[in-house]
Structure 1
Amino acid sequence: MSIDWGDAPTWVAGAFAAAAAYYTRGMLKSQRQQITEQRQFIAEQSANLELERAELRAQADDRRISQARAVWAGRQRGAFVVENGSDAVLRNVTVTFDGMPATSAYEMVDAGIGDIVQFVGDYAGEVVAIGPGRRFAFRSGEEWGPVVDDEVAFFQDEAGVRWRLSGDGVLEEAPEAPS
């Protein structure tokens, strides 16, 4: 038996080519597995990021509305009272009675004797700023006290958001200042 040396290098090259193809096949299989794992990891990360984004949105919404939630408005001592329970200033505070703007407003200051309150100042229906812990009484007309069905306070918070707070405690963002 004699070897045909002319074909031996071809056979050796063929064997190396087969080995390279086998190795390449193994690499491709490994890379496919890595790509699949990376896709799963990216999908998990995307889901985590979406949850974090939703949590951050919820926190931002809570911060945005927290000052407005600290404001109280309701009937007290024959007037419609707005009290700033937040630690920031309220701006451009107005009140409407059945859609009609308040004609005057007075700051309510504790007299230091029991429940006695002094009414200070005379504002023409709109109060430019109500500081933290301060309260103002709004009235419609000359008389204190006609109770109406729809008393609403409008104010702007520190972030510039305009709010609408009804006498029954419903708080919502107001698209524009009342006219």
Structure 2
Amino acid sequence: MGPVQWGDVPTWVAAIFAGGAAWFAYQTIKSQRQQISEQRQFIADQSTNLQLERSALHAAAEDRKWSQARQIRMHHRQAGVITDGQGNAVGPDHWEVTVQNSSGAPVHEVDVRFGSAYLAAEVYEVPSSAVHGPNPGERTIRPLHLLGAGRVIRFVSQHWSASTVHNNRPQLLFTDDNGVQWALDSYGKLEEAPAEGTP
């Protein structure tokens, strides 16, 4: 057996350069993959941050939207007395609903409905000191087109039987200073009301 043939110098040089080029290409591909992975992670982090910022902005906008409506107070009570044939009291005969604008801006188109069909029979503008008192104020019309900041108004229902009073609880309707319509029921549930004429 003869000596091993290792080739000539140019072949060796070419082989070394080819190996170096392959190693450099591998390192370049590896670096590019790492950069792509880092870019994807950066994009995912940015997307998450944007979603969090959008959520925070949406929550702040919703809070601002509800801010004034939450400051409108409704105090309601059953009043009057119905008596039976012997003069015994059997129940109240009407509702008195006092609305107080505790916000710093006016509200508009303020009205109260009793049940689904009845409207207030009498409306009075009363001083803020008489929120829980009788009706010392000045009679006005319904719906009240403007209730200024800090102002109070009282709605009085028709006089009914005790069962009709019980079955027709009051609901306050108003439009805030930004034009959003609201409904506040006698249990304290506040919700955005659909515009007139929408289902």
Which TM-score bucket, shorter chain as reference? 0.7 to 0.9
What is the rounded CA distance, in whole Å, between the counterparts of 2:122 and 2:101 in structure 1?
A: 18
Pairing partner for 1:84 from 73, 91, 101: 101
**1:106 Cα deviation from its structure 2 partner:** 1.5
Structure 2, unaligned stretches of length 5 or more? 1-6, 80-95
Q: 1:108 aligns with which of 126, 144, 147?
A: 126
Counterparts of 1:8-157 in structure 2, within 5 Å, are 8=10, 12-75=13-76, 78=79, 79-99=96-116, 100-109=118-127, 118-123=136-141, 125-141=142-158, 147-149=165-167, 150-157=169-176
- Please tell me the residue identity of whatever aligns with 2:20: A
Opposite residue 160 of structure 1, the aligned amino acid is G
1:70-125 Cα distance to aligned partner (Å, 9 max, x none)? 0001226952111111111101111101221223321112589xx786312421x2
CA distance in 2, matches of 1:57, 1:69: 18
Q: Check the 8 A contact 1:109/1:117 in 2, yes or no.
A: no
The structure-2 alpha-carbon separation of the partners of 1:110 and 1:55, relative to structure 1 and needing over 3 Å to count, comes to closer
Q: State whether residues 122 and 139 of structure 2, in contact with CA within 8 Å, keep that contact through their aligned partners in structure 1.
A: no
Gaps of 5+ in 1: none
Tell me how far 1:48 sits from its aligned partner. Answer: 2.2
C-alpha separation between the residues in 1 aligned to 2:73 and 2:135?
Answer: 17
Q: TM-score, normalised by structure 1?
A: 0.80
Q: How many residues align?
A: 170
CA contact (8 A) 1:86 1:133 kept: yes
C-alpha distance in 2 between matches for 1:117 and 1:73: 15
Identity of aligned residues (%): 39
AA partner of residue 163 (structure 1):
W
Q: Aligned equivalents of 1:63 and 1:136: distance in 2? A: 25
Change in CA separation of 1:119 and 1:154 when aligned onto 2, cut-off 3 Å: same
Q: CA deviation at 1:168?
A: 2.3
**Inter-CA distance 43–110: structure 2 relative to 1 (3 Å threshold):** closer
Partners of 2:42 and 2:176 lie apart in 1 by 43
Distance 1:119 1:76 in 2: 18
Secondary structure of the structure 2 residue equivalent to 1:43: helix
